[in-house]
Amino acid sequence: MFQKNPILIQLKKKLKLQNSFVEGIVKRKEKGFGYLEVNSNKSYFIHPNQMKKVMHGDRIIAIVSNKDKETVTPKKLIEPFLNRFVGRIYKKNNCVSIIPDNHFLNKTIPCNNIKNLNYEFQNGDWAIAKMCKHPLKDHCGFHAEIVDFIVKSKDKHAPWWVTLSRYNLEREAPNINLVGITMLDEQLDRKDLAELDFITIDSISTEDMDDALYVKELPNGNLYMIIAIADPTSYIQEGSKLDIMASERGFTNYLPGFNVPMLPRKLSDDLCSLRPNSRRPVLACSVTVTNEGHLINVDFFAAWIKSKAKLVYNDVSDWLENIGAWKPTDIKIEKQLRLLYRLYLIRNRWRKTYALLFKDRPDYRFLIGDKGDVLKIIAETRRIANHIVEESMILANVCAGKILREKLGFGIYNIHLGFDSKSIEQVIAVLANHGIIVDAKSISTLDGFKLLRRQLDSQPTQFLNNRLRRFQSFASISNKPGPHFGLGLENYATWTSPIRKFSDMINHRLLKAIILGNKISCPDNALIIKISERKRLNRIAEKDIEDWLYACYLSKFIDAEHIFTTEVIYISKNGMRVRLLDNGAIAFIPSIFIHVLRNELICNQDNGTLTARGKILYRITDIIDVFITKVCLEKRIIVARPVN
């Protein structure tokens, strides 16, 4: 009789409302208030007083207000945004606090244990800290513990040391005593190829040379090639201390101005490096390249080689382009370069027909002074010699992918599956808007993806290619064979940089097992995940350091009326992002510099246009000139305005 009682129903609703909890992530706004984002479609307002209990990025449970259903009060911490972090020391009245280096956070967090450290911190010094108290968990204010000192306040090397500390990455080469290290007895029958005219082509400063090339012409006109790769696994026992350390690092970390090697420099820059006129052990691949560019008679074997010359990209490119004064010192070296250039043309033509080519973009090199300041940023275009080596390495990795698949059925493969399956319909809609009709089934296949990419590459601009990139899946590594849509290849397994990549060391061991006829187990998924995560962290660290250095370098151009030529790469109603073509920096142009009345701006992402009053103001891929008007070093943000 009470089930339909209106008073009871009303009471139940009231009780339900009073216990209405939601879980989400805190998003702080600059004016002190915030929002709790429950999902992409729902968020709740957090009053500035309540924001004092939480931090941007915290995952919390909050209770919905009885009076205002769109407002919440934080109640329980699920996962803090900050745990281990880097920040700057702030001292006032003998009290020490730390300010996290994160542009979403403006909190000054008191430090509990400053007296326990054997260092006298000064204002602005950089340190590593960890959160030890949180208002929602400990019923008090935020508190942190200083874990370690990083670098002094005005040290010009702060961009490197702070960033590496942020991601818990190494600063130096592995510290392992290699005195008396000798080659392992691997029972490999190494072919003696020391008399062949192998050469290396690298940057002038390269010391860890890991690939040498040799080519000869066969009577039928085909080209016979041997790719010789440095062999660190001939010195490093699997499961040894050095091997474990290499697996932890995963990669040589290439940063602006210097690198942090995966292996001790004694190995990477000396014993294993394919130095000229030095006898070195290698893992080699021989392959015949037909006049049509097909690869036949692939064979892997261990060998000894002696490189006959260390050549430099720009010198070789100048000579092949008939410019400059450099020329080969030996007729045999000249012959090798001409054969390598011919092989490049053949394979490049094959990839253009049967696979996909890269879009050439310049590499930007930071010239760093002795005190860590950026002297200059140089745009280096990839020239003929770069393409020769690149084509040779792609060829070698295709061969490895083929042999590992056929002989073992596993290895470390580079995988890219094209468009994300969840985004296929959006891809079709964007293409249809530009008059290109495709179906989901075809563009989900390797052949269909290649056909579409070639069609997009023939467009007047790269807008559509760039627009569709956001719908593509991420490249990854796998222990099973799979296609690489980005390269347009059925499988791709790298083994050509074992000095610099632990995954390539693994493939070396797998290929050696094939050569010896030994059984070997498939690399486990835990190792794949660890390598992938380290690769991601290295890339983030490199970008963070670059952003910091760009901000420092371009700060001297503020209001200097120095004109930079840029390309528009992103548009929105809030403004545009542009890439400075001279140095690769990304700058932001606020809407106020584009059109006086922001409400009149219309952004069309599908067409890549920004219009006002029916007039197209800017398109993605437009080339425009700008001035630098502001640089925020704390946030690493560069602000520009168009030259009117």
User: What H or E segment, with its residue span, contains residue 50?
Assistant: helix 48-51
Computed over every residue of the chain, the mean pLDDT equals: 93
- Asked if residue 418 lies in contact with residue 449, where contact means CB atoms within 8 angstroms, the answer is yes
**How many residues would you count in the chain?**
644
Burial class of residue 368, CB neighbours in 10 A (0-12, 13-18, 19+): buried
Are 338 and 254 part of one and the same domain?
yes
**Single pTM value for the model:** 0.90
Longest dimension (CA), the chain: 106
pLDDT attached to residue 138: 87
Rounded to whole angstroms, the Cα distance separating 137 from 342 reads 68
Rounded to whole angstroms, the Cα distance separating 226 from 283 reads 10
Catalytic (active site) residue 189: no
Give the pLDDT confidence of 55-87 residue by residue, as tens digits.
999 999 999 987 777 899 999 999 999 999 999
Q: Say if residue 124's pLDDT is above 90.
A: yes
Which among 45, 79, 113 is the end of a domain? 79
- Asked if residue 338 lies in contact with residue 316, where contact means CB atoms within 8 angstroms, the answer is no
Are 237 and 334 part of one and the same domain?
yes
Pick 140 or 338 by higher pLDDT.
Answer: 338
Q: Pick the catalytic residue: 125, 197, 210, 622?
A: 210
195: in domain? yes
pLDDT band at 95 (very low <50, low <70, confident <90, very high): confident
Q: How many CB atoms lie within 10 A of CB 271?
A: 22
Quick one: which of 195, 211, 204, 218 has its CA closest to 339? 218
Q: Pick the catalytic residue: 197, 202, 231, 318?
A: 202
- Asked if residue 365 lies in contact with residue 380, where contact means CB atoms within 8 angstroms, the answer is yes
Give the pLDDT confidence of 552-566 residue by residue, as tens digits.
999 999 988 899 999
Pick 31 or 171 by higher pLDDT.
Answer: 171
pLDDT attached to residue 3: 56
Catalytic (active site) residue 231: no
- Asked if residue 165 lies in contact with residue 132, where contact means CB atoms within 8 angstroms, the answer is no
Tell me the residue ranges of DSSP E strands in 537-643.
564-572, 575-580, 586-590, 601-604, 609-612, 615-619, 623-632, 637-642
Are 280 and 370 part of one and the same domain?
yes
Taking the chain, what is the end-to-end CA distance rounded to the nearest angstrom? 79
Are 254 and 144 part of one and the same domain?
no
CA 557 to chain centre: 28
Rounded to whole angstroms, the Cα distance separating 571 from 569 reads 7
Tell me the residue ranges of DSSP E strands in 449-544.
476-478
Are 197 and 280 part of one and the same domain?
yes
Which among 27, 48, 79 is the end of a domain? 79
pLDDT attached to residue 372: 87
Are 257 and 217 part of one and the same domain?
yes
The 3-state DSSP class for residue 537 equals: helix
Are 69 and 100 part of one and the same domain?
no
Give the pLDDT confidence of 452-471 residue by residue, as tens digits.
999 999 988 889 998 999 99
Question: Which residue is listed with tokens 């000894």?
Answer: 304
Q: Amino acid identity of 592? A: I
Q: Pick the catalytic residue: 58, 125, 197, 211?
A: 211
Of 104-118, 287-301, 353-367, 611-625, the least confident:
104-118
Can you give the CATH number for the domain in which 62 is found?
A: 2.40.50.140
pLDDT attached to residue 219: 96
Catalytic (active site) residue 210: yes
pLDDT attached to residue 8: 52
Q: Pick the catalytic residue: 313, 344, 413, 550?
A: 313
Compute the C-alpha angle 309/310/315, nearest 5°: 110
6: in domain? no
618: in domain? yes
- Asked if residue 385 lies in contact with residue 314, where contact means CB atoms within 8 angstroms, the answer is yes
- Asked if residue 135 lies in contact with residue 53, where contact means CB atoms within 8 angstroms, the answer is yes
| Average pLDDT of the segment spanning 13-17 | 51
Rounded to whole angstroms, the Cα distance separating 338 from 341 reads 5
Rounded to whole angstroms, the Cα distance separating 118 from 604 reads 57
pLDDT attached to residue 435: 92
The neighbouring-strand residues paired with 217 are: 223
7: in domain? no
pLDDT band at 365 (very low <50, low <70, confident <90, very high): very high
| Number of alpha helices (DSSP H) and beta strands (DSSP E) in the chain | 15, 31
pLDDT attached to residue 268: 93
Residues near 320 by Cβ (< 8 Å), separated by ≥ 6? 337, 341, 384, 385
For the chain, percent of residues with pLDDT exceeding 70:
96
Q: What are phi and psi of 576, to 5 degrees?
A: -130, 150
Q: What are phi and psi of 391, to 5 degrees?
A: -65, -35
Give the pLDDT confidence of 217-229 residue by residue, as tens digits.
999 999 999 999 9
Residues near 511 by Cβ (< 8 Å), separated by ≥ 6? 283, 300, 400, 403, 404, 495
Q: Say if residue 479's pLDDT is above 60.
A: yes
Are 363 and 437 part of one and the same domain?
no
* 250 token code pair: 């995963």
Q: Say if residue 4's pLDDT is above 70.
A: no
pLDDT band at 1 (very low <50, low <70, confident <90, very high): very low
Q: Pick the catalytic residue: 28, 453, 467, 500?
A: 500
Q: Which domain holds residue 129?
A: 84-155
Residues near 286 by Cβ (< 8 Å), separated by ≥ 6? 224, 225, 226, 297, 298, 299, 301
23: in domain? yes
For the chain, percent of residues with pLDDT exceeding 90:
82
Are 317 and 410 part of one and the same domain?
yes
- Asked if residue 544 lies in contact with residue 438, where contact means CB atoms within 8 angstroms, the answer is no
| Average pLDDT of the segment spanning 607-612 | 92
Give the pLDDT confidence of 221-260 residue by residue, as tens digits.
999 999 999 999 999 999 999 999 999 999 999 999 989 9
The four Cα atoms 578, 582, 585, 590 give a dihedral, to 10 degrees, of -30
| Average pLDDT of the segment spanning 425-445 | 94
Alpha helices in 475-524 (DSSP H): 502-516
27: in domain? yes
Q: Pick the catalytic residue: 58, 125, 197, 208?
A: 208
163: in domain? no
Q: Say if residue 410's pLDDT is above 90.
A: yes
Q: Say if residue 32's pLDDT is above 60.
A: yes
> CA–CA distance from 88 to each of 85, 104, 109, 400, 632 (Å)?
10, 15, 10, 48, 16
Are 227 and 354 part of one and the same domain?
yes
CA-based R_g, the chain, Å: 29
Are 360 and 297 part of one and the same domain?
yes
Which among 62, 79, 96 is the end of a domain? 79
Number of domains in the chain: 5
Are 341 and 426 part of one and the same domain?
no
Rounded to whole angstroms, the Cα distance separating 596 from 446 reads 47
94: in domain? yes
